[in-house]
Amino acid sequence: MTQIQGPGIFLAQFLRDTPLYDSLENITRWVAGLGYKGVQIPAWDSRTIDLDKAASSQSYCDDYKGRLAELGLVPTELAGYLQGQVLAVHPAYEAGFAAFHPPGLRGVARTEWAAGELKKCIIASERMGLRNVPVLSGGFAWHLMYPWPQRPPGLIDEAFAELARRWRPLLDLARDKGCVLGYELHPGSDLYDGATFEMFLEHTQQHPAAGINYDPSHLLLQQLDYLEFIPIYGQRISGFHVKDAEFRPNGRVGVYGGYQPWSKRAGRFRSLGDGQVDFRRVFTLLTEAGYKGWAVLEWECCVKSPEQGAAEGAPFIARHLIETAQVAFDDFAGGTASRELNRKMLGLE
């Protein structure tokens, strides 16, 4: 069994245009002081990385890693969530996702831009020696998630066929570069649970570069068994967001949330330790599944401040890291093994 790396932290939710949080130098100095060892970089944010340079220059990547190393940090992943989300967009969501890409892009132009940015994420990841590229799948069928009106035969299959067509060249590139695309199973994307991930695998011929960025919070809010999920899909889990959540339904709201703000929904993201995710079991199951990657805090909470969430996150993750055993606990009671002894104990001699 292997050792999970950590604690890491995803920088996206902490970036602001104020000192301490407004540049890579400032924010990494802050998180290093909190005890983090790795940082997940939002590859769309120019305050944290020049993606064009990272994809074209090995010296830029080496210098980048060197600057982090001076603070005792390493890059854990280059995240392409926003670019992945707009690789496939239903027209109903064009306006909502417009902030995820340069102004004026629509249709084929937007798809080509997103694919180009994701290629840069993969190439830059290879240059930095990183394996997992966390992404969202985007999608065409999220508005059809509830089967009313009744879905005509072939509709969902068509959506996944087109989704696979757009992702297949990127999966091939990731495979060729020694990387994996870690799809975060996320509402608003067509890959949001185990069943939809399996459908995607079928349409990509079980592509070896299709991984999962495991986030138990999204699974808990669906009331999916996020623990049983790990042994089912453990060999595909390539990344891990340590994010907590709670689901407290009442007489007014349940899974669908009633169009309420986050603070009034039955399902809410919480700071680590304040929700219902059983992280002791999660870390144990991931360790037993052979997960070798990083445990990365993604902070989203409608109650606590980001500063308190970040400060509490590093020691929380550190407490849950498992130093895997190299010996059996009952070795002291064993003796010298031999086939003759084994047969004698079985009554065969």
Number of domains in the chain: 1
Indicate the pLDDT class of residue 311, thresholds 50, 70 and 90: very high
**Cα–Cα distance measured from residue 79 to residue 270, given in angstroms and rounded to the nearest whole number:** 22
Instruction: Using the predicted structure, report yes or no on whether residue 316 has a pLDDT greater than 70.
Output: yes
Q: Which two tokens stand for residue 262?
A: 């986050």
CATH number, domain at 70? 3.20.20.150
Q: Which residues contact 30 (CB under 8 A, 6 or more apart)?
A: 20, 21
pLDDT at 238: 98
Give per-residue pLDDT as tens, 203-236. Answer: 999 999 999 999 999 999 999 999 999 999 999 9
Give per-residue pLDDT as tens, 51-68. Answer: 999 999 999 999 999 999
**Cα–Cα distance measured from residue 15 to residue 18, given in angstroms and rounded to the nearest whole number:** 8
Give per-residue pLDDT as tens, 80-134. Answer: 999 999 999 999 999 999 999 999 999 999 999 999 999 999 999 999 999 999 9
Indicate the pLDDT class of residue 44, thresholds 50, 70 and 90: very high
* DSSP letter for each residue of 197-263: HHHHHHHTTS-TTEEEEE-HHHHHHTT--TTTHHHHHGGGEEEEEE-EEEE---SS--TTGGG--GG
pLDDT at 1: 54
Indicate the pLDDT class of residue 337, thresholds 50, 70 and 90: confident
Give per-residue pLDDT as tens, 31-43. Answer: 999 999 999 999 9
Give per-residue pLDDT as tens, 174-194. Answer: 999 999 999 999 999 999 999
Sign, CA dihedral 66-67-70-72, equals negative
Structural domain including 56 reads 5-345
pLDDT at 307: 97
pLDDT at 2: 63
pLDDT at 218: 98
